[in-house]
Amino acid sequence: MRFSDVVRDVPLLARRMIEADILCRVYETVCAAEGQDKALDAVRRVVESAATAAGRDFAAQAPGGPSFEHFKTILSAWKHSGALVLEHVRDTDRVLTFSVTRCLYVEAYRAMGVPAEVLPLLSCARDAPFASAYHPALEMDRPCTLAGGADACLFRFTWRD
């Protein structure tokens, strides 16, 4: 039995909430034993490692190999059940930009009592490693996030050959 087969039908928001609960427990444990900096670093490394694996797995599912068109299909999973509200979407053959004006991931983490310093690590820290692992031609820029206190997350994905 493969993990990906087991969690395939679990909505992404629910998976992220389960992960957040576990990662917060890891954070608290490492924080008590080793200090906040080491605890934050541990959470960041786990999240980035998982995101890198997920990016590679998503690329492996691309018919004919990774492409920008295939990458853009990930938005449907990210937005499932209204988890993200996107505005100002601009989609060309090489650039995808959008603003996330509401993020149920961040709202759920806050409702769970996730510490403010951990909040941006849980979902926000996933995005760049996921994109990089998907394909080296894919670049991501996101100068601000809702989790970091901004009014929106401003995303720009660029496919460079």
Residue 4: pLDDT over 70? no
Q: How many CA atoms lie within 13 A of 145 on its CB side?
A: 21
Give the C-alpha distances (Å, rounded to integers) separating 20 from 63, 119, 135. Answer: 32, 9, 27
Residues spanned by the domain of 119 = 3-159
Q: Are the C-beta atoms of residues 61 and 81 closer than 8 Å to each other?
A: no
Give the chain's domain count. Answer: 1
Q: Determine phi and psi for 125, rounding to 5 degrees.
A: -75, -10
Residue 94 buriedness (CB in 10 A; 0-12 / 13-18 / 19+): exposed
Residue 7: pLDDT over 90? no
Share of the chain above pLDDT 70, in %: 99
Predicted local distance difference test score (pLDDT) of residue 11: 85
Predicted local distance difference test score (pLDDT) of residue 5: 72
Predicted local distance difference test score (pLDDT) of residue 122: 92
What does pLDDT average to over the chain?
94
The string of pLDDT tens digits covering residues 121-134 is 998 999 999 999 99
Q: Are the C-beta atoms of residues 29 and 42 closer than 8 Å to each other?
A: no
Q: Determine phi and psi for 82, rounding to 5 degrees.
A: 75, 20
CATH label of the domain that carries residue 108: 3.30.1380
Give the C-alpha separation, 104 to 114, whole Å. Answer: 14
Strand partners, 88: none
Predicted local distance difference test score (pLDDT) of residue 80: 84
Predicted local distance difference test score (pLDDT) of residue 6: 72
Q: 3-class SS at 161? A: coil
The string of pLDDT tens digits covering residues 131-145 is 999 999 999 999 999
Residue 76: pLDDT over 80? yes
**Is the Cα torsion angle 74, 60, 21, 34 positive or negative in sign?**
negative
> What would the mean pLDDT of 10-34 be, rounded to a whole number?
95
The string of pLDDT tens digits covering residues 40-55 is 999 999 999 999 999 9
Q: Give the DSSP H or E segment for 79.
A: helix 74-79
Residue 27 buriedness (CB in 10 A; 0-12 / 13-18 / 19+): buried
Residue 78: pLDDT over 80? yes
